[in-house]
Amino acid sequence: MSADHRKNLLFKALTCLAAVSVLGIVVGILAVILMESFPALKHFGIGAFLGGRDWNYTREIYGALRPLTGTVVSTGIALLAAVPLSLGTAVFLTEICPHRLRGAFGAAIELLAAIPSIIYGMWGLFVLAPFLDEWVQPAVGSALGGVPLIGSFFVTKSAGGVNLFSASLVLAVMIIPFITSIARDAFEQVPDVLKESSYALGATRWETVRKVVSAQSASAVGGGVIIAMGRALGETMAVAYVIGNRHASLDSLFSPYTTITSVIANEFNEAGGIQLSSLFTLALVLFIANFLALGVGRRLVKGKEK
């Protein structure tokens, strides 16, 4: 065996080791989080933990229902607000915007996606939450507050704008650049020939977008939205400030509440024993949910390319 051959084998082994370590880390994360969650899962049982309403420090009973609800509701509202805005922006970027400006606008959107989430969180705390508190919440409250059954859901019960609604909107602002850039890429993938054929038949721009572009890009855009959902589920710093982290029943959209990430961020460093294990279980739920969303989303985005 020559010296070169041996060196080559050594180098190959080194690169292989590095590649396997990536796999090892991801498997390790899952294994360690699973191990740390075990005491809580054993103590409460999976069903009782996931469906448990209590998060009680003195009685040491912990259940995931409220953080889960908070995460699902805030992500849902964020998507409701961000998806139409992002799709509109993507249509503007691909159909209306003058060609000369497209590059600059596109780059700006991508840069905004890179701004750290703590910055969005801080902006939410100092700018968005006070604004919503002063202008939006009273208006919504007086418009919908009187509606039977659901009216109380829109009444402001605590001041300051620290509530589930503010947190959802911060999340929405944060995922706008993300969904926009995926939707723009998907729209641009639509072959020009198809669009030109549509115009040649006399269709307007809107008709072309609605019937040709959207049909061609639907699965990729849907995938992008699901990936964005995964992102919103796992987002911590953007919601940690404005959600309020309050363990109580969800009586109003404008009341402080809790999410999986905010309860972990707020309580992890002071927790021990069964509470810490419960927080790890929440992290496990998040890891799995994010992985599923990503798997489905990526499949949809890639499906068209093959």
Partner 1 sequence: MTGIRKRKINNAIAMGVAASCAAVGLGLLLLILYDVLKNGLSSFGWTLFANDPAPPGMEGGGLRSAFLGQILLTAAALAAGVPAGVLAGTFLSEYGRNMKLSKIISAVSDMAVSIPSIVTGAFVYAILVKPFGGFNGWAGAAALAIIVLPIIVRTTESMTSMVPWSLREAAFALGAPYHKVIMGVVWRSAAGGIFTGVLLAAARAAGETAPLLFTSFNSGHFSLNMGRPVPSLTVTIYQYAASPYESWVSLAWGAAFAVTAAVLVLNVTGRLLIKLRQGK
Question: Per CB under 8 A, which of residues 191..230 are in contact with partner 1?
Answer: 204-207, 209-210, 227, 230
| CB nearer partner 1, residue 77 or residue 125 | 125
Of the ranges 43-51, 55-63, 82-90, 189-197, which one interacts with partner 1 (CB under 8 A)? Answer: 82-90
Q: Pick from 177, 302, 298: which is nearest to 226 by CA?
A: 298
- 140 contacts partner 1 (rule: CB under 8 A): no
Which residue is listed with tokens 């609604």? 165
User: What angle separates helix 65-91 from helix 214-234, to the nearest 10 degrees?
Assistant: 140
CB 63 within 8 Å of CB 45: no
| CB nearer partner 1, residue 38 or residue 153 | 38
Question: ∠ CA(170), CA(240), CA(264), 5° rounding?
Answer: 140
| CB nearer partner 1, residue 111 or residue 147 | 111
For residues 260-299, which are near partner 1 according to CB under 8 A?
Answer: 261, 264-265, 268-269, 279-280, 283, 286-287, 290-291, 294-295, 298
- 33 contacts partner 1 (rule: CB under 8 A): yes
The Cα–Cα gap between 255 and 141 comes to: 12
Least distance between partner 1 and beta carbon 169 (Å)? 10
For residues 235-254, which are near partner 1 according to CB under 8 A?
Answer: 235-237, 240-241
Could you say which of 12, 42, 157, 211 contacts partner 1 (CB under 8 A)?
12
Where b means 16+ CB within 10 Å and e means fewer, 179-204 reads: bbbbbbbbbeebeeeebeebeeeebe
